[in-house]
Amino acid sequence: MLNTFGLVAVGGAIGAMLRYSVYLSSVRILGASFPFGTMIVNVAGSFLMGIAAVVLMQRGQAGLLAPFLMIGVLGGFTTFSAFSLDTLVLIEKGKLALASVYVFGSVGLSILALFTGLLLARSIWG
């Protein structure tokens, strides 16, 4: 029987395959001039995370299904869904300043980290 880590791993694989399928479909249908696939999975994943948060967490039906679906499938589909949920939780707790720091810090630092990684890799491997 799979433990929680195994369920998260299986869910992550499923989510990643779903994300790749959306990417391929969006390029084939909409073209590659704009990252439609990424936007679609971010929005859809956030929507589904909202549903999962209510159905699984607030109703006390989490069990092993919550880590499988919320961390595994939706995390593999898009980590933006977890980011969106974390942000909304902070907002609902009335911590607007902290939510703002989290949003701008996460996005800004992630872009900066990606840029830094690109520069480092290019300086090493050309």
DSSP for 35-67, please give it. -HHHHHHHHHHHHHHHHHIIIIIITT--TTHHI
Same domain, 30 and 90: yes
What does the block give as tokens for 79?
């980590």
Q: How far apart are CA 126 and CA 118, in angstroms?
A: 10
Q: Are 81 and 108 members of one domain?
A: no
- Choose between 51 and 57: higher pLDDT: 51
Residues whose CB falls within 8 Å of the CB of residue 73, separated by 6 or more in sequence, listed in order: 11, 12, 14, 15, 18
How many folded domains does the chain comprise?
Answer: 2
Confidence of residue 51 (pLDDT cuts 50, 70, 90): very high
pTM: 0.81
Domain match, 49 and 101 both: no
Do 64 and 120 share a domain, yes or no? no
Mean local confidence (pLDDT), 19-45:
92
Same domain, 63 and 100: no
Which pLDDT score, from 0 to 100, does residue 59 have?
73
Kindly give, in sequence order, each residue whose CB lies less than 8 Å from that of residue 56, ignoring residues fewer than 6 positions away: 62, 65, 66, 69, 70
**Tokens matching residue 103:** 């949003």
Neighbours of 89 (CB within 10 A): 13
Q: Which domain holds residue 73?
A: 4-94
